Amino acid sequence: MDTLKILLAATVALLIGALAVAYKDGGPEKDTSKSEIAELKLEFEKLRMERDTLEQQRKLQALQDAAAKSAAAAPAPAPAPSAAENAALQEQIAKLEADKAKAERNAETANNEAAFVGGQVLEHRDGEMRRARMIKDALPMARIKEWVDDPQAGSFGVIEVLQEASV
C-alpha cells in the first residue's frame, strides 16, 4: 500500500514538473511569428494553384490521347461469324448460364447452411430461443374454429382436429 502511494506521488510530481516546463517555454505560439505564418499561407496557395494547373493539363492530355487513339483505331468491319461459330458460341453461352445457375444454387445452399448452423449455436446458448423454434416448427394438431362467449355456460372454444392420430 505504501509503495503504491509513493508511485502515485512520484507520477503526480513528474506531471506537475512537465506542465511547469511547458508553460515556462511559452508554448508553440511564441516560436512562430505572424510573418512566417503569412509566408507559409502564401506558399501553400501557390502550391495549390500549381497543382490545379497540372491537374487541368493532365486531363487535357488524357482527352487528346483518347481522341488520337479513337481516330487512329477506326473500327474495321468485323467479318460475319459462320453458322458453326454461332452454334459454338450459343453452346458456350448455354454452358455459362448453366454454370451460373449452379453457382447461385450453391451460394444459396451455403447461405442457408450458415444460417442454420448460426441458429443452432444461438439455440444452444439460449434455451428459450430453442423452445420458440420447436413451437414454430411443430405441426398443428388442432385449430380453434370458433370462440363462444355464452353468459350461461361461460366462454369456450370449438376446435377443429387436424391430426386425429395425434390427439
Say if 44 falls within a structural domain.
yes
Domains contained in the chain, number: 2
DSSP 88: H
What is the per-residue pLDDT across 4-13, written as a single tens digit (0 to 9) for each? 888 888 899 9
For residue 162, the SS3 value is coil
Give the cell for residue 142.
Answer: 388442432
pLDDT score recorded for residue 123: 77
DSSP 166: G
In terms of average pLDDT, the best of 65-69, 108-112, 162-166 is 108-112
pLDDT score recorded for residue 124: 77
Say if 56 falls within a structural domain.
yes
Say if 2 falls within a structural domain.
no
Say if 3 falls within a structural domain.
no
User: Domain residues for 111?
Assistant: 88-125
Q: Do the beta carbons of residue 148 and residue 156 sit within 8 Å?
A: yes
pLDDT of 31 > 60? The answer is: no
Q: How far apart are CA 10 and CA 26, in angstroms?
A: 25
The rounded mean pLDDT for the chain is 84
Q: How far apart are CA 103 and CA 113, in angstroms?
A: 15
Q: How confident is the model at residue 137 (pLDDT cuts 50, 70, 90)?
A: confident
